[in-house]
Amino acid sequence: MKTVITYGTFDLLHAGHINILRRAKEMGDYLIVAISSDEFNALKGKKAYYSFEDRKMILEAIKYVDKVIPEDNWEQKVEDVQKYNVDLFVMGHDWEGKFDFLSDYCEVCYLPRTEGISTTKIKEDLKQVQR
């Protein structure tokens, strides 16, 4: 069995999220998604619209996702890869090179993002609608 892991906030779920989850799942048999906890988002200076528990529930309902775990800090990735016997780490290409250190523990792959959609763009578009 090939285990794949990816990380993100996964707030305001959109087609880009579904695309990366689908493609990550297609690369293995078991997909783990680590989502940023509310506390970790605060440390990063981010605020998700949905709480960690709501984002977790939404992701668990997606057919491509087998397990959802919290991401509490930047440093836990090596521990997660080892703990869950991960074979492949997947992230969007906007993170290219940032997680290459994980190649000592598993394969690392950066997938192209879905063009024209992002949580940041949705938030900006919603601001325009409210004016």
Tell me: the pLDDT tens digits for 99-108? Answer: 999 999 999 9
pLDDT digits (tens, 9 = 90+) for 40-77: 999 999 989 999 999 999 999 999 999 999 999 999 99
Find, among 27, 33, 91, the residue nearest to 67 by Cα: 33
94 vs 49, 56, 72, 90, 115, CA distance in Å? Answer: 22, 23, 21, 12, 12
DSSP conformational letter for 113: P
The residues assigned a catalytic role are 44, 46
Give pLDDT tens digits for 85-99: 999 999 999 999 999
